Amino acid sequence: MKAYKVFWTRMAALDLEDIMDYISKDRVSSAVSVYNAVKSKCFLLKNNPERYRIVPELQALKVVNYREIVHSPYRIIYKLTDSEVYIMAVVDSRRDFETFIFNRLLKKEA
């Protein structure tokens, strides 16, 4: 089985930090739990990143190089290349996801 290298973009790391800051205002233990779960899921990408779905909103636009792990209510968006995985975003699924995708991901590809 091929091993991929997994990298976090600066923006994705900031997303996770913002989520942790928000959650920890109410309960630090919950923030730690979410952090550990997100990091664990991303760690699994090194062995089989194809196992997770293509982001449906992007697939509808024929953009198929972004995939996601859903850890409700969060969506971990990553870009897959031949040998690398780039964590691009960690997003609360209750946000306006289409606007987020356009502003964060699709503008860069245009």
Establish how many alpha carbons lie within 13 A of residue 43's alpha carbon, considering only the half-sphere containing its beta carbon.
6
Report the CATH number that the domain containing residue 100 is assigned in CATH.
Answer: 3.30.2310.20
pLDDT digits (tens, 9 = 90+) for 63-90: 899 999 999 999 999 999 999 999 999 9
What token pair was written down for 80? 């897959």
pLDDT digits (tens, 9 = 90+) for 49-62: 999 999 999 898 89
Domain that holds residue 73: 5-109
First and final C-alpha spacing in the chain:
34
Q: CA 9 to CA 15: how far, in whole Å? A: 10
What amino acid occupies position 82?
D
Angle between helices 28-44 and 10-24 (to 10 degrees): 150
Asked whether the whole model's pTM tops 0.95, one would answer no
Q: Structurally, how many domains does the chain consist of?
A: 1
